[in-house]
Amino acid sequence: MQTLYFDNGSGTKLCGILKEQSKDKVVILCHGFSSSKDSSTYPRMQGMLAKRGISSFRFDFFGHGESEGKCEDITLSEGVRDLEAVIAFLESKGFSKIALFGNSFGGMIVLLVASRHPELKAVVGRAPVSSYIEKIVAQKSGEEIGEWKKKGYMHYLSSDGTMHKLNLTFLEDAEHWSVHDVAPKIKPPTLIIHGDKDDVVPVEQSIKSSGLIPDCRLKVIKGTGHAFEGHRQECLRMAIDFLDAHLHQ
């Protein structure tokens, strides 16, 4: 295991952990909103990938975990810039077969970036957001959105019970990003996994995206929500099998 620091292209230092098993094959692991590379999913995935002879790199987005920046300043544009920097960083280390895994916010970022990188070997989105604007409009009242615009920020409660601040720049930036718009440009083989009881990111978003991505498999897990309660190991195995199959082609 190596803890590595690198520039995201705009002067911000990001932190990631590389578990090297292969000199050419690597999976980049992208966490969700207000989470981090150290959430239990990602070390576990690194161990599973290592058993398949695949290197992996879990990193913290801008403002998360050990990376620089304030979480309240995160945007989708920033997330895309961060992941682009990670790809370039790993290519500079000699990795030539790169695949992506992302959860929720990270899932949206990997899909957006995949539309720009046809050379990627595979992409997996677990409960990915496809449109934050659709999600926000569906889950917040006009009054709440108006208050967000008036104050310039909003507060939200994360899954671990921590209160966070999010600036208006997130909402303004999100208007320019939709997986639905770029889905036809996603050329790498893609797997989307989503629970049909997800009350954080509607499964309908993934159903729509999967139908627009040329080479996409959608797996809807019945009876589970955003955290894949009771199905976490099943989902990880499904993701690992998919990534393994395409990286070893």
Residue-wise pLDDT tens digits, 139-167: 899 999 999 999 999 998 776 777 889 99
Domains of the chain listed by start with CATH number: 2-131+178-247 (3.40.50.1820)
Query: Could you read off the pLDDT of 123-138 as tens digits, one per residue?
Result: 999 999 999 999 998 8
Q: Residue 209 in contact with residue 130, Cβ under 8 Å?
A: yes
Calpha distance 178→174 (Å, rounded)? 8
**Torsion sign across C-alpha atoms 17, 21, 22, 27:** negative
Q: How large is the average pLDDT for residues 40-55?
A: 97
> How much is the pLDDT for 159?
67
Query: Could you read off the pLDDT of 180-201 as tens digits, one per residue?
Result: 999 999 999 999 999 999 999 9
pLDDT at 32 over 70: yes
Calpha distance 166→195 (Å, rounded)? 26
Look up residue 92 and give its two tokens: 């500079």
First to last CA, the chain: 26
Which letter, b or e, does each residue of 184-200 get, where b requires 16 or more Cβ atoms within 10 Å of its Cβ? eebbbbbbbbbbeebeb
Among left, alpha and beta (phi > 0; psi -120 to 50; other), residue 230 is left
Calpha distance 84→167 (Å, rounded)? 23
Look up residue 123 and give its two tokens: 């992409």
Calpha distance 219→106 (Å, rounded)? 18
